[in-house]
Amino acid sequence: MKRLTVVMFLLLATAGSVMATSFLGRSATLNKQYQFFGWANFGYNQTAVSYNWQSGKYEAPEGFLATQTVACDLTLAFGLTCDFDIDVVVPVAMKQKDTLKSSGLGDLMVYGRYGILQDPEKPLKVALLLGANLPTASKTANPALGDRTTDVAFGLSMNTKKYGRFLGYIRAAYWFNGRTPDAGDDTKVGDMFEYLLCGDYAVSKTLTPELALSGYIRDQTVWGGTWKPQSQGSLHLVSLLLWWKPTATLSIRPKVSVPLTFISEGGTIANWYGGLDVWFSVP
């Protein structure tokens, strides 16, 4: 029963995500040296369907209890050099499922970006990423606010130079997920691949619509060295975003995502995911 509860916590924690994780939230363009960058990523969703492994479809079974999530990932980045910056992501969330409520800190994320190609005249900008999730979420929170494992990720972020008004982005990462830290619980969360493909087209100096395809594929959970059947999962989304840049140092971007259920698998998901990004740089 305890292991079943752990798996349900993992599925609920994943259901709160919109698009890719914050690890893939930034482009290949690095901070300037000694420059601060702040980003608030607000999100809302309410789970509506769960995956039926027998039918291979998402359904709303009788007695289904939705989980409502309001979340915000707060990112602060600092450019140590022109080629390397450090990012710290503090996730906070409020969740409710029937009479159960939880709120507070999720799993802290720290990552670094190293620019291997940053010449604006080249066709591509490229940055390598190395990061980790730390188990800072409460182990008693129900619904869960994080999976409470120590995870390590390697990633790649690329974006094209601007061709007329078009700019393209490709980002991908692989997560080596760890074990839950609680005594007597030998649960190993499945490793995960995540990606983001995005293109934008500037209609003016301050307004840029964007279209993105993103998602993840997560391997099965392991209990005591044994794979747990039907514990794997994947979620793929198409997203519309509108980037508004009122000043040189401030950007605001509302977004909405819709899951592609015909290629997704496992867990409980929402019919749509809403979000709002606000970011600034100093100086």
Say whether pLDDT at 24 is over 90: yes
pLDDT confidence bin for 186, thresholds 50/70/90: confident
Largest CA distance in the chain: 58
pLDDT, position 8:
41
Inform me whether the pLDDT recorded for 25 exceeds 90.
Answer: yes
CATH number at residue 228: 2.40.160.40
Q: How far out from the chain centre does Cα 30 lie?
A: 19
* 1, pLDDT greater than 80: no
Looking at every residue in the chain, the average pLDDT score rounds to 91
- The count of structural domains within the chain is 1
pLDDT in tens, 206-258: 999 999 999 999 999 988 778 888 999 999 999 999 999 999 999 999 999 99
What residue numbers bound the domain in which 258 lies? Answer: 2-282
Q: Which two tokens mark 249? A: 């140092």
Residue 124's beta-bridge partner residues? 160
Q: How many CA atoms lie within 13 A of 131 on its CB side?
A: 28
- Assign 18 a pLDDT band (cuts: 50, 70, 90): low
Q: Is the pTM of this model over 0.85?
A: yes
Average pLDDT over residues 29-46: 95
Q: How far apart are CA 162 and CA 116, in angstroms?
A: 19
When mean pLDDT is compared across 86-90, 162-166, 223-227, the lowest value belongs to 223-227
Q: Which residues contact 162 (CB under 8 A, 6 or more apart)?
A: none
